[in-house]
Homo-oligomer: A and B are copies of this chain.
Amino acid sequence: DKYTRPAVKTEIPGPKSKELAARTDSIQNTGALSFFCDFEQSKGNYLVDADENVLLDCFQQISSLPLGYNNQELLDLCKNDHFQATLLNRPALGTFPGLGFPQLVEDSLLRVPPPGLNQVITMACGSCSNENAYKAIFMWYMKKKRGQEMPVLDDLAYETCMKNQVPGSPKLSILSFDGAFHGRTLGTLSTTHSKPIHKLDIPAFDWPIAPFPRLKYPLEVHESENAAEEARCLEIVEDLINEWNTKAPVAGIVIEPIQAEGGDNHASCEFFRKLRDIALKYDIAFQVDEVQTGMAITGKWWAHEHWGLETPPDIVSFAKKMFVGGFYFSDAIRWNMGYRIYNTWMGEPSKLHFLKKTIEIVNSQNLVNQAQLTGDYLMKGLKELESAYPALLNSSRGQGLFCATSISGDGARDKVSKDLLNQGVLVGSCGNESIRFRPSLLFSPAHVDIVLDKLNVALNNV
Contact = CB atoms under 8 A, between A and B. Distances in A.
Interface of A: 16, 20, 23-24, 27-40, 42, 47, 50, 61-62, 64-65, 69-71, 74-75, 78-79, 82, 84-92, 94-99, 101-102, 105, 110, 118-121, 124-128, 131-132, 134-135, 138-139, 141-143, 150-151, 157-159, 161-165, 168-173, 178, 183-188, 190, 193, 195-207, 209, 248, 319-320, 334-345, 354
**What copy number does this chain have within its complex?**
2
Nearest to A68: B89
Given A75-B88, A197-B337, 13 more contacts: A20-B99, A29-B340, A36-B101, A47-B96, A64-B344, A127-B185, A127-B343, A135-B186, A161-B204, A168-B199, A171-B203, A205-B205, A320-B344
Nearest to A143: B201
A-B interface, 9 closest residue pairs, ranked by CB to CB distance from nearest: A31-B338, A186-B187, A32-B338, A164-B204, A39-B89, A169-B204, A78-B84, A142-B201, A131-B185
A158 B65 contact: no
A195 B35 CA distance: 45
27 contacts: A24-B97, A24-B101, A33-B94, A37-B99, A39-B91, A39-B98, A42-B89, A62-B344, A69-B89, A70-B85, A79-B84, A128-B128, A135-B184, A135-B202, A139-B202, A142-B200, A161-B201, A164-B199, A165-B206, A168-B196, A171-B203, A173-B203, A186-B190, A197-B339, A198-B339, A198-B342, A205-B205
B90 A87 contact: no
Contacts of A34: 95-96
Contacts of A207: 164
A28 B119 contact: yes
A183 to B, nearest CB: 8
Contacts of A344: 61-62, 64, 125-126, 319-320
Nearest to A173: B203
B82 A169 contact: no
Chain A contact residues: helix, strand, loop or mixed: loop
